[in-house]
Structure 1
Amino acid sequence: MASFDKPVDYKEGTVIFAEGEPSSFLYIVASGEIRIFKEDKDRLIPISVARSKDFIGELSIFSDEPRSVSAIATAPTTVIMVKKSDIRKVIKECPDWVSNIMITLSDRLRGSIDMLREHRIVDDITDHGGEVDAKTEKSFRKSIDDYRKRRGLKK
């Protein structure tokens, strides 16, 4: 059975993780709101919004690739962090075909997110996290850049 860490609280505007960084956790949103963004040159493209009972960080469970998106708390937020290694232990107990389906779905979703960014068709999706005004986007970009600097991450 997967173990859960203590709930973690984030203030509004706090970066939870940044695109390109290694991943070790899946996050279950207990309360609050988290916006997911894909970086595209000098823009942040809203991908989705996670709220209570949603989860984020699932793509990294099945691969060792770095995070494909950034996540920012857009309200006071509490999450429960589940270790990637614990989830992988549970998955190993599943039949191989179940694991293969999960890995394939994860790869396809990651590819779809990359395609959305490349072709800039995110705006055609109705529930993609809404628009972000220029001032908020600038603030989020600064938060992401500061987060990377504190962790010694490259863009």
Structure 2
Amino acid sequence: MSNLSAGKGTDAPILFKAGTVIFAQGKPSKYLYLVKRGEVRLIKFKGQNLSAIQLCGERDILNEVAILTNKPNELTAIAKTDVELVLVDQKDVLSVINSSPSWIPEIFETLCERLKHTQDMIEEHNLATEKDPRLVMSKDEEKKYIQALADFNSQG
């Protein structure tokens, strides 16, 4: 994953192995991610407890709220399977939006606020795992995810 260190997005998909942290809750964002292949689990940490929020697959977009609002990630994304992602640099996304008519950024801001509110409601009422049993994590998976995030955070 050396092309990530250069800070440039790429059109070529990048492979993330199963169990790899893609982005972490509380950290600033650099990329919007387009899922080309595989599955990514979005989770939220509350202390040492995990809440599964969503399971993303082919053609899903990850990290849109953090990129569009320029706020730290509210979720952690971990590759559930080997996954190929296309990375789009935040600067490129914002450049396209800012070169649009003045009302476009306002629409994106409103959509992000609504999406965040919806995510908060899903988490608060634990609706995700009730609707999608694939989100239920075993204790072993939880331990692996906690360790993967600790390793990710220790890398800086």
Q: Give the TM-score normalised by structure 1.
A: 0.86
The match for 1:66 among 59, 67, 72 is 72
Paired amino acid for 1:139: K
Higher fraction of helix: 2
From 50, 53, 57, the counterpart of 2:56:
50
Deviation at 1:124, TM superposition (A): 6.7
Instruction: Tell me, yes or no, if the aligned pair for 2:42 and 2:78 is still in contact at 8 Å.
Output: yes
Equivalent position SS for 2:135: coil
Gaps in structure 1 of 5+ consecutive residues: none
Which TM-score applies when normalising by structure 2?
A: 0.86
Task: Give the corresponding residue for 2:5.
Answer: none
Residue 155 of structure 2: SS of its match in structure 1?
helix
Aligned residue number for residue 149 of structure 2: 144
CA deviation digits over 1:22-62, x for unaligned, max 9?
00100001111100001122211111111111110101122
Letter in 2 for 1:52: E
Matches within 5 A, 1:48-127: 48-117=54-123, 119-123=124-128, 126-127=131-132
Q: Percent identity?
A: 30
Among candidates 36, 44, 49, match of residue 38 of structure 1: 44
- Residue 137 of structure 1, CA deviation: 0.6
8 Å Cα contact 1:35-1:71 kept in structure 2 = yes
The aligned residue for residue 20 of structure 1 is 26
The AA in structure 2 aligned to 1:88 is L
CA shift, 1:4, in A, is 5.1
Question: Secondary structure of the equivalent of 1:29?
Answer: strand
Cα distance in 1 between the residues matched to 2:22 and 2:129: 26
Higher alpha-carbon deviation: 137-146 or 125-134: 125-134
Q: Please state whether the residue corresponding to 1:104 is helix, strand or coil.
A: helix
Aligned-CA RMSD value: 1.9
